[in-house]
Structures are given as structure tokens and as C-alpha cells.
Amino acid sequence: MRKYTLLLFLLLVALIFSLAPQTTLAQSTASATKNGNLTFSEKEVAYVKSQRLARIATVSKKEQPDVAPVSCEFDGEVFYVGGRNNLATMKYRNVKNGQTRVTLVFDDWESLEPWKPRFLKIHGTADIITRKGQLGEGQYLRIAPQVKWSMGIDEPAFQNGKPVIKRMAK
């Protein structure tokens, strides 16, 4: 599972660097929690709520990774992922079968000229709950964030020609 999570992260970073004029990574690391939960800045919350789609990555018992586009809800602490037929999806089955580690990615371009990519990537653990959400009453994945990476949301994506990726852990 760790190798697939790392692979997804490395692919995202490779994509950023392949499109960026310079390839030096400037990374800041911090830790912040509120009531034991990972905190999100006001700009990060607004960014997540402005996105219509995200991607969720899960892994099957046979270690087959799966990435799927999803809509989700965010209450400022946890994410909820549902679907019209959620119980039939691979993401739902993977979590139900005990593969509870997941990754969520929200990304877009604020502008192409000048080039301003933005993303928020979350590693977390998922469980299945029944709730009334944006798609009505039903089974939803509840994702508790453990680690997050962000770029271009709280501060410019590049400083002095170098990408700025913020990492925050629980």
C-alpha cells in the first residue's frame, strides 16, 4: 500500500515538474491539529468547497490501486464521499474489505498564463457511515485526514522560480 501511495505522490510531483520552468522543490513542513484533527486554512476550505470534483485513490486486497473521480462534502474536519450507487463501487468495496487508507486529490489551474497550478492532496483513513448527505440518505465514506500537501492555495505556487509545497501532518 505504501508503495502505491508513494507512487501516486511521485507521479503528481513529476507532472508538476515536467510542466514547471524550474524543478527545484521548496517544501515547508508544519504540524497543526484542532481537537486531534488536522486543521485546514480558510483558503484551503474555500478551495475544497469550490471544486466540483476530486479524485480518490484506494487499493484492493490484491493491492490493485484504483483512482476514481468523486464529488465530496467537507465539514472543515472530515470529508464525505458518496455516490448514486456507492455500494457497487470499487472505492466502497475496498474500504469495506479493510483497505481503509485512502488519498484524496483536489487540483486545478488558477490560470494557464501565467502558469498557476493548485492542489490539495490528503492521506487519510476511511470508514463507512450512514448519513444524509448531498446525494440523500445512504452509505458514505468518511475520510479522516492524517497528512496534507498543498500548493498554490495559501501562497503562490512558485517563489523565486521554485515550487512551494506545504506539508502538514496530524
Closest CA to 3 of 77, 63, 61: 63
Which residues are CB-neighbours of 151 under 8 A, at least 6 positions away? 16, 117, 118, 119, 157, 163, 164, 165, 166
Share of the chain above pLDDT 90, in %: 65
The DSSP bridge partners found for residue 6 are none
- Phi/psi region, residue 45 (left: phi>0; alpha: psi -120 to 50; beta: rest), is alpha
**Distance from C-alpha of 151 to C-alpha of 106, rounded to nearest angstrom:** 11
| SS3 state of residue 45 | helix
Q: What is the pLDDT of residue 144?
A: 97
Q: What is the pLDDT of residue 133?
A: 84
Measured distance between the N- and C-terminal CA atoms of the chain, rounded to whole angstroms: 20
Q: Which helix (H) or strand (E) holds 3?
A: helix 2-19
Q: What is the pLDDT of residue 134?
A: 83
Supply φ then ψ for residue 56, to 5 degrees: -115, 135
SS3 content of the chain, % helix, strand, coil (to 5): 20, 50, 30
- Residue 136: which pLDDT band, with cuts at 50, 70 and 90? confident
DSSP state of 85: T
DSSP state of 152: S
Domains of the chain and CATH, by start: 2-169 (2.30.110.10)
Q: Which helix (H) or strand (E) holds 162?
A: strand 162-169
Q: What is the pLDDT of residue 33?
A: 56
Q: What is the pLDDT of residue 35?
A: 62
* Average pLDDT over every residue of 2-10: 45
Mean pLDDT of the chain: 83
Which residues are CB-neighbours of 45 under 8 A, at least 6 positions away? 74, 76
Q: What is the pLDDT of residue 118?
A: 96
Q: Kindly report, residue by residue over 17-48, the tens digit of the pLDDT.
A: 433 433 334 344 444 555 667 999 999 999 99
Q: What is the pLDDT of residue 164?
A: 95
pTM (2 d.p.): 0.78
**Distance from C-alpha of 120 to C-alpha of 127, rounded to nearest angstrom:** 21
* Average pLDDT over every residue of 111-131: 94
